[in-house]
Structure 1
Amino acid sequence: MPFYDYKCKECGHTWDEQQTVNARNVPRYNPCPECGASGDISLVIGKVNLGDPIQLGVKKPPRDVQERLAQINRNAGGDGGRYG
């Protein structure tokens, strides 16, 4: 499933969501997660991701995920690895 970028016309907040091609416009009609404005969301045309942005180093996983990965690595006898 592809990721799509959205931008609130009211506050300028941008975010991405993973959606099916058929559902890509659904978030445009939901409130902005930042300011709550409804109906002012645009689908931003951007670059195509040909891989996982986290694996490619473009994006970092959320902090709680990083902490959990480090804990799993330490419990498995590692040093915490990349996220430790």
Structure 2
Amino acid sequence: MSESCLIKTQVVTLRVPNELKSRSEQQAKVQGVSLNNLANYLLTTQLSQLETFAGIEQRLRTKNLGDLKQKIASLLDKVPHNPNVPEWDRL
């Protein structure tokens, strides 16, 4: 394997409650991965979600709420009426 294919890593020590560690170890075992792989996956997905939300919030700050509501209403007006929609799925 070439050196350019290797991902550089750092060791990070985290202090977590015993219960969280135990739950994480159990879930890693269920998933068939190491605790390290599970922790990397969870951190990566959660950080991605936080970054996405921050980006959306930043974009929304530059928008006018009235204009956004009007655009949404316009889009909803284009949705065909379906009388067979279950009650739980109605707006």
Q: TM-score range by the shorter chain?
A: under 0.3
State the structure with more CA Rg.
Answer: 2
Normalised by the size of structure 2, how large is the TM-score?
Answer: 0.23
Using CA pairs under 8 Å that are at least 6 residues apart, name the structure with larger relative contact order, 1 or 2.
1
Normalised by the size of structure 1, how large is the TM-score?
Answer: 0.24
Instruction: Pick the structure with more helix per residue.
Output: 2
